Every structure is written in structure tokens, then in C-alpha cells.
């Protein structure tokens, strides 16, 4: 903390001078999440906030697809990402050209894209979803077959919780796919009272071993509601437990967790640099942004 303090003060001072807002995903490190972020949340909450902020500048504490989503929703604002190389294995797994081929192969079948995709992909699909609303979005079409891409595991989780037949893609999250059902069963065997809370980007055997599955925000809400003395495994990125620990002091967090190398590229020094030099600005082609905005706004306006 003493090392962080000068950065925290400089960022919070400069933020006011610049008229900037910092949107931070739940996977940001605690010094970002608790000390400089104006808004924290899951992908859906951050997209909603980007759409309604009055700030002139948005600094995205998160990965590139999140910054692109903010730019798509707030085209007149300056959107900055402190490290432009903060990518995502899901977003990297599919292109706009892939979606066009899928559309040709399955004419008339609605295509839902997880927000963990590029603006180019969002521009080609019918609607976006996040892990918070994927089931509702898929069911909103009222048809019996929907394509849900690019996360094969999120798609399988939706299929397991809906009557809609789901077609998907071969993408996966490099962080969540590393968890195994066997490791979680070992935690349960060692401590039968343990609460296992998983993200839907995990493989099916992990979700089968979990007591609750939901988006990062829903995982946090579930954890906060647990009684004092609970022991919890948050089957997700490591910063989640660090961030929620302050709000759930009566809960013991049992590892494992996995680090997202992309999220961890965002640091206090890089946020300060971003605000000082107004870098790195996220640019989305206006025609692509307009088409992507339709997909994201359709999701935001669905009741969920």
C-alpha cells in the first residue's frame, strides 16, 4: 500500500482535472478496484455505465473488448485503455468473417455474441449477451435454435439451463478452462461444508461440482449473502476473492484461483500514464461501431 499511495493520489487528482471516469472490472487488482475506480462491476454493469456516463473521458480498467464496448456505446467520448495489449482468448478466437460464414451456413438462425468479442464480431450478430443475461437473451428470440458464440462452455451452460438448442463455436477462456471438476471435488472431500461458486466460462465438470454458477457480479452477491464463518472457493480470476474479501469479512476464501494475464496488464502506473498522455485511445470504425451498437443496445434494453 505505501508504494501504491502516490499513484492513487495522482490518479484521483488528475481524474478530476481531466473530467475522466474509471470503469473497473471485478478482476482488477484491489488497489485499482478499491482506490481509483469510480464504477466497478461485471461486463454488463460496465457496459450500462459506459452508456450513461457524463464524463468526457472513460479510462477502462479491463481488457480491450471492454474498452471497445465503451467506445461503441459512447462514440463521442474519448475511451482510453492503459495497456492496448490487454486482450482475451475468447475475443481472439473469432472474427467477423467467421460470423459471416456461420450466417451463410445457418440462415435464419439468430446469432448471439458474448460481449467478450471484437466490435467487428458484434457488428455481425443479432444481439450480445454477458454471463449475467445469456439465458434470457437466448430465450428472448422465442425460437428453438440459437447460435451462441464464441465460448463453448458458456454455450453449454446456457443449453443446460434452457430448452433452446444451442449451436456454438470452439472458443474458451484461458483462465476458466484450467479449473477441473476433480480439483473441486478434492476441496469438497476435505471440507464438506465448503461453498463452491463458479463462473459459467468454466468447463461442465467444474459447473457440476459447484453450488452456484453466475457472472462475476452474481458470484459476489452470492458470497456477500453467505453467513459468517462460511468457507468459499471462488472458481474464477484471483482478484475476485481479494476484492470481495473486504465486504465479506466473515468469509474465508480458499484458493485455487487462476490469474488472467490480460487483466493483470492494467496497473496503477499505466492508468496514471494513460490519464497524463491520453493514451491509448480506442478507435472503432464508425460504421462498425454503429452496427455493433445495435447488438449491444438490444442486449442492454432487454429486461434482465
Closest Cα to residue 51, out of 302, 296, 216?
296
Residue 114 known to bind ligand: yes
User: Does 29 contact ligand 13P by CB under 6 A?
Assistant: no
Residue 199 known to bind ligand: yes
Interface residue with ligand 13P among 29, 36, 43, 159 (CB under 6 A) is 43
Interface residue with ligand SF4 among 29, 53, 70, 116 (CB under 6 A) is 116
Interface residue with ligand SF4 among 175, 184, 210, 268 (CB under 6 A) is 175
Contacts 24+ apart (CB under 8 A), 253-259: 254/187, 254/191, 254/194, 256/179, 256/183, 258/175, 258/176, 258/178, 258/179, 259/175
What single-letter DSSP state applies at residue 265? G
Cell of 261: 494475464
User: Does 125 contact ligand SF4 by CB under 6 A?
Assistant: no
Beta bridge partners of residue 139, listed in sequence order: none
Residue 216 known to bind ligand: yes
Residue 131 known to bind ligand: yes
Interface residue with ligand SF4 among 263, 275, 284, 289 (CB under 6 A) is 263
C-alpha 67/C-alpha 73 separation (Å) is: 10
Residue 201 known to bind ligand: yes
Only segment of 70-78, 88-96, 121-129, 135-143 that touches ligand SF4 (CB under 6 A): 88-96
Residue 238 known to bind ligand: no
C-alpha 266/C-alpha 18 separation (Å) is: 19
Provide the minimum distance between the beta carbon of 250 and ligand SF4 in the complex, in angstroms, as a whole number. 27
Instruction: Collect all residues with Cβ–Cβ distance below 8 Å to 127 and sequence separation of at least 6.
Output: 110, 112, 113, 137, 140, 295, 298, 299, 302
User: Does 115 contact ligand SF4 by CB under 6 A?
Assistant: no
Residue 174's binding partner out of ligand 13P, ligand SF4, none, with CB under 5 to 8 Å set by partner kind: ligand SF4
Residue 116 known to bind ligand: yes
Closest Cα to residue 275, out of 87, 71, 76, 55?
55
Give residues 214-253 in contact with ligand 13P (rule: CB under 6 A).
Answer: 215-216
C-alpha 287/C-alpha 279 separation (Å) is: 23
Closest Cα to residue 270, out of 85, 84, 82, 86?
82
99 or 260: whose CB is closer to ligand 13P?
260
Provide the minimum distance between the beta carbon of 130 and ligand 13P in the complex, in angstroms, as a whole number. 4
Give residues 46-85 in contact with ligand SF4 (rule: CB under 6 A).
Answer: 63
What single-letter DSSP state applies at residue 240? H
Q: Which residues bind ligand 13P (CB under 6 A)?
A: 26, 42-43, 116, 130-132, 173, 201, 215-216
Q: Annotated binding site for [4Fe-4S] cluster, which residues?
A: 88, 173, 260
Q: Annotated binding site for iminosuccinate, which residues?
A: 25, 43, 114-116, 131, 199-201, 216
Amino acid at each position: 500500500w505505501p508504494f501504491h499511495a502516490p499513484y492513487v493520489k495522482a490518479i484521483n487528482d488528475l481524474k478530476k482535472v481531466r473530467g475522466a471516469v474509471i470503469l473497473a472490472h471485478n478482476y482488477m487488482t484491489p488497489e485499482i478496484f478499491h482506490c481509483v475506480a469510480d464504477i466497478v462491476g461485471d461486463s454488463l454493469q460496465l457496459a450500462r455505465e459506459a452508456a450513461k456516463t457524463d464524463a468526457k473521458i472513460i479510462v477502462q480498467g479491463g481488457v480491450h473488448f471492454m474498452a471497445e464496448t465503451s467506445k461503441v456505446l459512447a462514440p463521442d467520448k474519448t475511451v482510453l485503455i492503459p495497456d492496448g495489449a490487454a486482450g482475451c482468448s475468447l475475443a481472439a478466437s473469432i472474427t467477423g468473417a467467421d460470423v459471416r460464414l456461420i450466417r451463410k451456413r445457418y440462415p435464419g438462425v439468430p446469432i448471439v455474441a458474448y460481449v467478450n468479442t471484437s466490435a467487428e464480431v458484434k457488428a455481425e450478430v443479432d444481439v450480445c449477451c454477458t454471463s449475467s443475461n445469456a439465458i434470457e437473451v437466448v430465450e428472448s428470440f422465442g425460437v428453438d435454435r440459437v447460435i451462441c458464440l464464441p465460448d463453448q462452455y458458456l454455450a453449454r451452460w446456457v443449453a443446460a439451463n434452457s430448452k433452446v438448442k444451442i449451436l456454438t463455436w470452439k472458443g474458451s477462456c484461458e483462465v476458466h478452462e484450467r479449473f477441473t471438476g476433480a480439483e473441486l471435488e478434492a476441496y469438497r472431500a476435505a471440507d464438506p461444508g465448503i461453498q463452491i461458486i463458479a463462473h459459467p466460462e468454466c468447463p461442465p465438470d467444474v459447473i457440476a461440482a459447484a453450488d452456484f454458477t453466475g457472472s462475476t457480479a452474481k458470484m459476489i452477491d452470492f458470497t456477500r449473502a453467505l453467513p459468517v464463518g462460511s468457507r468459499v472457493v471462488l472458481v474464477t480470476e484471483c482478484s475476485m476473492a481479494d476484492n470481495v474479501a473486504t465486504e465479506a469479512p466473515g468469509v474465508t476464501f480458499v484458493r485455487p484461483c487462476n490469474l488472467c494475464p490480460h487483466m493483470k496488464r492494467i496497473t496503477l502506473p499505466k492508468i496514471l500514464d494513460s490519464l497524463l498522455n491520453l493514451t491509448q485511445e480506442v478507435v472503432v470504425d464508425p460504421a462498425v461501431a454503429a452496427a455493433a451498437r445495435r447488438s449491444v443496445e438490444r442486449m442492454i434494453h432487454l429486461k434482465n
